[in-house]
Structure 1
Amino acid sequence: MNRRDFLAGSGALAAKSGVGHLTRAWGQQPADIALTIANLDLEIAAGKTIHTVAYNGTVPGPLIRWPEGKPITIDVSNQTDAPEIVHWHGLWIPSDVDGSMEEGSPMIPAHGRQRYSFTPRPSGFRWYHTHTYAGHNLRRATYSGQFGCFYIDPKENAGVFDQEIFLTLHDWNGYMGGGGDTSMDVSYDYATINSKMLGAGEPIRVKQGQRVLLHILNASATLTHWLACSGHEMQVVAMDGNPVPVQKNVQAVRLAPAERIDVAIEMKQAGVWILGETRDDLRKAGMGIVIEYANQQGDARWLSPPEILWDYAHFARSQKAAEPDVRIPLVFRSKFTGHGDFDHWMINGKSFPKTDMITLQQGKRYRLSMQNESTDDHPIHLHRHTFEVTSLDGTSISGLMKDVLVVKAKSTAEVDFTASNPGMTLFHCHQQSHMDFGFMMLFRYA
């Protein structure tokens, strides 16, 4: 049994037990937010149109900005011919509305509808996206345009900026190649920021002396991106929606699939600049956006930043974290399945849905001790919880709170979380091909 077969079986059960109840709730009172999943012809540049699926006819979908602690109701209508689901990434919400079939959230039937009701928390930069199986269909799931930003405003003022701007990175028109490395499995023709290729959309317009906060999401299915803002430094203030213990100025930032970062930029270099991918081929494929100062004209300039080493430890405390109650060893390996196909992925020697299910005791602190024996980096994600990064390649750190962490090839990493949100909880690599082909496991509360 693979993930597709697991989803098919679970979907039949959910259709009997969950969808009817949620559908009956529809229309009793108006929802706060309405999302429609439908096919879309998206023009990313003159003469370049992507045939995809999106929310409300836009890529990204509408920004959901909501006060922390205030209940929200979201109606989702699926106008496509395939079952769908919406995952509310990074939120501490019940598993039946989290938007993962593996946890028990019901699928939205083709041409069906569903209502999600929950109280958004914690505050900060979260997002929403489809959580379906793609397999070899590289126009489905996170390869599509089904993603959007979800920002939960804190109860207390988090800072004052002249502008706040949300930027979403995405790669388009993937096809399957061969081999084991992800860069060989999936390739792309185009890249966009906020649905437009570099130079095809409206620039970010700023004024001299402004302090601008950029909320940046990597919504790519598989690619990690490096971004630099020509002529400017970026101050990292938050990762995955959580304030970092140590704010640091950097020349470029690295974002793996599903990672978010908040950076502040002092606009003090008048001109017309490019914020874009540091790698020429990806920037030329479209991964960039123009920043234009008031009363400035001319061609946008690109200045390559000096090469940097991205290290999460730079934004964390150097002190050792408190000892956990329980340690859970996790070893990541791949299994070559033949030329022209994706690798299959294993956690502790097993591929989902045959991976072991770990039982959690509410209130206990758990440490995931991860050993990546493969030659791929893995952006691992834990649903419905935030974890603290406590060790990278044997070096202890603390205070850095995330929900996605890149465990580099041939490396080790440890993260701690408190079992504080009962229900089935999914752990997986956020690279779509890795997730589809075995890199998943479930935690359950006793």
Structure 2
Amino acid sequence: MALAYLADRCVSYAKATVPSADHTIRIAPISLEIAPGKVIKTTGYNGTVPGPLLRLHEGKPAVINVINESGYLNLVHWHGLIIPSQQDGSAEEGSQAIPPGGSLRYAFTPGPTGTRWYHSHAMAMTDLTRSTYSGEFGFLVVEPTHDPGRYDREVTLAAHHWEGHWVSMQDIRKGPPPDNGLEAMYRSATLGERMLGHGEPIRVRQGERVLFRLLNASGSMGISLALSGHRFTVIALDGNPVPTPMTVDAVELDVAERADVIVEMNNPGVWVFGSTDEDDRNMGMGVIIEYADRGGDPQWVAPPKAPWNYTAFGRTSPAAMPDEVIDLKFEKIPGGRGRYNRWTINGKSWPDTNPLFTVHRGKRYRLVMNNNSGDTHPVHLHRHSFEITKIGNKATSGVMKDTISLPRYSAAEVDFVADNPGNTLFHCHHQDHMDEGFAGLIIYG
């Protein structure tokens, strides 16, 4: 009751003191044609998928009016922003939900700079047309006060899977053990607005330096992306500049992760920019890159296989020592054939996980995370950035993120400073895993 009261007061204050919104987002059903004759009935922002690119400015207060015509209780989460919990767009933290037909004004000062995004934070449960399974997502870029201008142009590309359906993995004889419960599978995919080969190509000129802002906006599937005939120089992960920019053949992004990459356009032709997984490309995950004055069929050349590891972008020097170490263990309670799984953090599922642990302002906390399951988890911390300090047995420092992918049966450690008071949600960004209990609140003491 107290949190709802605070959220109501915060929203009322914003409405009373700010005369107009900088942006308006309308959540409503749309028919999305991702290929000729293939129309997806989904929900989008302002009639498009992705929604409009929001450009906010570092340190300049912003007001965004959201109108909910989705037909269900909804919220918009401002992913990667360090803002008050009442404005964060998570009901678990006390943010106000928007009823069908209602509206809500979010008011906050955006930061940090870089590639952020916004998306629904509603529960979906068994409905594979809602929340992050739907088209409710868009890029949000926080512009710095000073821009070094290291590129000639910018392209935003969001990956998404469509036409989800539930399957029992044992029925298709692949995936986790036979006692596993239902999992979401998909029939089509996009990188950008349409399926591979069915949208306008991205036209480039030889010699251009192109910044690609890449986002995995899928509900529950990790991806690997490559641009045939070219390499990526990774300059930022989750919007945060990396200490050691590296040139790679492919970029791996778990759900909710972003990567900023520079591509030198130095190999004229017509190329496929798409998933390194053939099944994903066949479902449509890709886009054509076409050089000026070049034609012909687009070419796909598989990149060399190489492991993806966050430590390649970090420093070898040790991170600062934490004030406290928190152990977190992630496990699955299999639902069995035709039923849904449950997920636990230290043996408990949401809401019994609360509070997950208590922090004190200004202290540095190290989360020692062990994924004791056969599933991969993109773990997201709301309203804070964290520093990766260990992957497996390899120590590192300097890579700042808000989401980290933990492959099956793996371990990682991250540090964050408790510098943004308020309830803070910690969860797996696979929609089904979160809905099945993989979440907990960190509270400030």
TM-score band, normalised by the shorter chain?
Answer: over 0.9
State, as a whole percentage, how many aligned pairs show the same letter.
Answer: 49
| Distance in 2, Cα, partners of 1:102 & 1:400 | 28
- Quote the offset at 1:184 in angstroms: 6.3
- Quote the offset at 1:312 in angstroms: 0.8
Report SS of the residue matched to 2:396. Answer: strand
Give the conservation status (yes or no) of the 8 Å contact 1:39–1:80. Answer: yes
- Quote the offset at 1:19 in angstroms: 4.5
User: Residue 408 of structure 1 aligns to which amino acid in structure 2?
Assistant: P
Aligned length: 435
For residues 176-214 of structure 1, the C-alpha deviation after alignment (integer angstroms, 9 at most, x for no partner) is 112484996011111012220001111111000111000
Q: 2:70 aligns with which of 70, 80, 88?
A: 80
Give the conservation status (yes or no) of the 8 Å contact 1:23–1:113. Answer: no
2:204 is matched with: 206
- Quote the offset at 1:22 in angstroms: 2.7
2:226 is matched with: 228
Structure 1 runs (4+) deviating above 6 angstroms are: 13-17
| Distance in 1, Cα, partners of 2:22 & 2:52 | 13
1:49 correspondence with 2:39: yes
Give the conservation status (yes or no) of the 8 Å contact 1:26–1:75. Answer: no
Counterparts of 1:223-262 in structure 2, within 5 Å, are 223-262=221-260
Q: 1:144 aligns with which of 114, 134, 150?
A: 134
1:329 is matched with: 327
Report SS of the residue matched to 2:280. Answer: helix
Counterparts of 1:45-444 in structure 2, within 5 Å, are 45-179=35-169, 181=176, 185-357=183-355, 358-444=357-443
| Distance in 1, Cα, partners of 2:7 & 2:301 | 53
Report SS of the residue matched to 2:27. Answer: strand
User: Residue 207 of structure 1 aligns to which amino acid in structure 2?
Assistant: R
Give the conservation status (yes or no) of the 8 Å contact 1:19–1:114. Answer: no
| Distance in 1, Cα, partners of 2:227 & 2:193 | 19
| Distance in 1, Cα, partners of 2:416 & 2:4 | 32
| Distance in 2, Cα, partners of 1:79 & 1:53 | 9
Report SS of the residue matched to 2:86. Answer: coil
User: Residue 339 of structure 2 aligns to which amino acid in structure 1?
Assistant: D
- Quote the offset at 1:160 in angstroms: 2.5
Give the conservation status (yes or no) of the 8 Å contact 1:198–1:290. Answer: yes
- Quote the offset at 1:158 in angstroms: 3.7
Give the conservation status (yes or no) of the 8 Å contact 2:227–2:271. Answer: yes
For residues 287-323 of structure 1, the C-alpha deviation after alignment (integer angstroms, 9 at most, x for no partner) is 0000000001111111111111111111111121111
1:22 is matched with: 11
Give the conservation status (yes or no) of the 8 Å contact 2:168–2:181. Answer: no
Report SS of the residue matched to 1:314. Answer: helix
TM-score (norm 2): 0.95
Give the conservation status (yes or no) of the 8 Å contact 1:234–1:252. Answer: yes
User: Bigger shift: 335-344 or 387-396?
Assistant: 335-344
Report SS of the residue matched to 1:185. Answer: strand
| Distance in 2, Cα, partners of 1:317 & 1:24 | 44
- Quote the offset at 1:380 in angstroms: 0.3
- Quote the offset at 1:159 in angstroms: 3.1
Quickly say closer, same or farther: Cα 1:21–1:71, change in 2 above 3 A. Answer: closer
For residues 236-290 of structure 1, the C-alpha deviation after alignment (integer angstroms, 9 at most, x for no partner) is 1100000111111111110000000001000010000010011111101100000
User: Residue 153 of structure 2 aligns to which amino acid in structure 1?
Assistant: Q
- Quote the offset at 1:23 in angstroms: 6.0
Residue segments in structure 2 that go unaligned for 5+ positions in a row: 170-174
Report SS of the residue matched to 2:362. Answer: coil
Quickly say closer, same or farther: Cα 1:198–1:310, change in 2 above 3 A. Answer: same
TM-score (norm 1): 0.95
- Quote the offset at 1:25 in angstroms: 5.2
| Distance in 2, Cα, partners of 1:337 & 1:230 | 41
- Quote the offset at 1:30 in angstroms: 1.5
| Distance in 2, Cα, partners of 1:113 & 1:382 | 26
User: Residue 263 of structure 2 aligns to which amino acid in structure 1?
Assistant: I
Counterparts of 1:33-48 in structure 2, within 5 Å, are 33-48=23-38
Give the conservation status (yes or no) of the 8 Å contact 1:238–1:261. Answer: yes
Quickly say closer, same or farther: Cα 1:40–1:26, change in 2 above 3 A. Answer: farther
Give the conservation status (yes or no) of the 8 Å contact 1:26–1:114. Answer: no
Residue segments in structure 1 that go unaligned for 5+ positions in a row: 1-9
User: Residue 231 of structure 1 aligns to which amino acid in structure 2?
Assistant: G
Give the conservation status (yes or no) of the 8 Å contact 1:40–1:54. Answer: yes
1:7 is matched with: none
| Distance in 2, Cα, partners of 1:159 & 1:439 | 40
2:172 is matched with: none
For residues 321-372 of structure 1, the C-alpha deviation after alignment (integer angstroms, 9 at most, x for no partner) is 1110000000010001221123100000000100141111000000000011
| Distance in 1, Cα, partners of 2:10 & 2:260 | 38
- Quote the offset at 1:15 in angstroms: 6.6
| Distance in 1, Cα, partners of 2:277 & 2:271 | 16
| Distance in 2, Cα, partners of 1:24 & 1:244 | 38
User: Residue 320 of structure 2 aligns to which amino acid in structure 1?
Assistant: A
Report SS of the residue matched to 1:238. Answer: strand
| Distance in 1, Cα, partners of 2:48 & 2:224 | 25
Report SS of the residue matched to 1:177. Answer: strand
Give the conservation status (yes or no) of the 8 Å contact 2:221–2:254. Answer: yes
